[in-house]
Chains A and B, each alone.
Chain A
Amino acid sequence: MPEVAEWERVLLPDIEKNETEWLAAYLKKGGYDVARKALDMEPESIVAQVKESGLRGRGGAGFPTGMKWSFLPKGAFPRYLAINADESEPGTCKDRPLMEQRPHTLIEGIICSCLAIESETAFIYIRGEYYKSAKVMEKAVAEAYAEGFLGANIFGREGKRVDIVVHRGAGAYICGEETALLTSLEGYRGYPKLKPPFPAISGLYGKPTIINNVETIINVPYILKNGAEWFKKWVHERTTGLRLYSVSGHVRKPGVYELPPTVTLKELIHDYCGGIRNGHDLKFVIPGGSSVPWLKPDQIDIPMSHEGVAAAGSMLGSSAVMVCDHTVCPVWALGNLSHFYKHESCGQCTPCREGSSWLYKIVRRIEAGGGQPGDLDTLYSLAGEGTPGSGMISGKSICALGDAAAWPVGSAIKQFREEFEEHIETGKCPYRERKTSYWMANGGFVNESFDGMPVP
């Protein structure tokens, strides 16, 4: 095996141990010192440091955090901070270990961020499936209240108040979309809202609201402690800081890897994750969560930064890398993802609701051997070329779920056109014939057999 560069790990130094760092242990290593220091800082100077560090949102969009904070209208109060812990982009599993192992670092990050944006109330919206994360956060928040680090007059400072409410979702991908998260938090269906107005102007309960991802906020105390220059030691173009890459699928050692943005996708897969399982060949990689365009094996020698992945025609997204070996039928894989988006479309906008459903039905029938000659053209007309605004779905709905449903389709056909055509021409899936791994036990389409949905 090639030499693996050992990097300093900051956010999750002992991820393998999977232990929760409770308050006593956190205080022993200087926990909450940064929050105390932040109390003496001007809010503008906290925002300035975060801006200077180049920290960008780790949820997927990669928007500069400091800039987002500075969109709040002057003099409008109350303001809210919502922590997006609805980690639900398939492939992404990094915020869970952050909450379960480093709850107090997140709380300290929330305190610092609340001081920066002059908010007195923060909500942590945790996806319903993360029972343990919610329990750990509840307990850690209670510990912080008991010490006087949260509530009225935090750290004994007259007039400074920060409250944290831990809120659980109940199973809806769409609630990771920031406006849907807020409507869900208000006790409604998680329906996204049109922007503008942006949440920074009119968000939760109609008040100015900032929504940030868990990993974004947990970086804030480190930046305030060590400085913006320290954070920029790890840099590739405009992507700074160490980040957590969730790697799943057919690699020998799947896991969450904390690495600088200069690491290449190839190193990540072959060096850090031990390469492809069972001596198999790589078929394709989805480099940034399920909605981003696919990459083929000759496209993976790229830095895992926003710019590096964009140059290869995909997106870094939530830095969730899904690896598929040569046993995976690309048509089947696309059907699996299309099923996801069909299921998770909130139903508000017709192009997304109907479109995601039709994408699934058509991809499914191609995979099942019922593909028709015009099917690829129909898919293209629906999904476009995998670029924003092309096709009948992308850019035509309130939020980006429609885009997320469409992009993989255009990209999969572009990358594996011949295989799609072979399915249609021969009326069967060659992978089923070969009885590759997931067909061994019980032939059939996973989603289909569970759903009982008739073949269209």
Chain B
Amino acid sequence: MTAMPEILKDDAEEIERLIGKYPSRRSAMLPLLWIVQRRAGWVSQGAMEEVAGILGVTVAEVYEVVSFYTMFQQKPVGRFHIALCDTLSCAICGTHEIAAYLAEKHGIEMRKVTGDGLFSMEPVECIGACANAPALLLNEDLVGDLTPAGIDAMIEECRRKAGATAAAAR
């Protein structure tokens, strides 16, 4: 059974271009899942069915891949998702303080989505920003050399963006 594209319905052209780059159709697995995550914010069962249909593999084969790579979200996350690096160089430079600050000052807690759906946070292993420790990824952006003031500015900017979207929708 092939699911009718829902999440990927507007991406047919890009998907065909992507698949065409590889000697094997299955190589487009990660690229397709990235498109899913860009569209939906996470990878749902329905999304996996769509990807399976496009690549001609079983849903189980897609799930096997999704569950292996930590960056694919298997549950909805906040609009602004924080991946806070917790490996040695960051950890000795203040990861823990940053996590505590985000929780106490901004109400953003580990492995939780805030009530307004705006923020979520998870600890991750080394993100390759060791010389700018402590560091995090805010959606696609690397934010390094974190300080309380820098965190405040980052969160403020997210709220401003969210406010602008809300205003535009009205």
Contacts and interface: CB of A to CB of B under 8 A. Distances in A.
Bind each other: yes
Nearest to B33: A170
A129 B85 CA distance: 11
B100 A441 contact: yes
Interface stretch (A35-43, A69-77, A89-97, A296-304): A89-97
Contacts of A340: 87-88, 125-126
Contacts of A121: 23
Interface in A234-267: 246-250, 254-256
Contacts of B21: 165
B131 A254 contact: yes
B169 to A, nearest CB: 26
A288 to B, nearest CB: 13
Interface in B81-101: 83, 86-89, 91-97, 99-101
Interface in B73-127: 83, 86-89, 91-97, 99-101, 110-111, 123-127
Interface of A: 87-93, 95-96, 121, 127-132, 165, 167-173, 184-190, 205, 246-250, 254-256, 286, 290, 320, 322, 324, 328, 333, 336-337, 340, 343-344, 346, 437-438, 440-442, 444, 446-447, 449-451
B117 to A, nearest CB: 22
B146 interface: no
Interface residues of B, number: 52
Contacts of A96: 128-129
Give the secondary structure class of A's interface: mixed
Interface in B13-68: 21-24, 26-31, 33-34, 55, 64-65, 68
Contacts of A128: 34, 69, 71
Interface string B119-159: 00001111111111100010011100000000000000000
14 contacts: A91-B89, A128-B71, A129-B124, A168-B30, A170-B34, A172-B70, A248-B131, A249-B92, A250-B92, A320-B130, A333-B92, A337-B87, A438-B96, A450-B99
Given A167-B30, A186-B26, A337 B69 contact: no
A328 B72 contact: no
A450 B22 contact: no
A90 B87 contact: yes
Given A128-B69, A172-B70, A438 B94 contact: yes
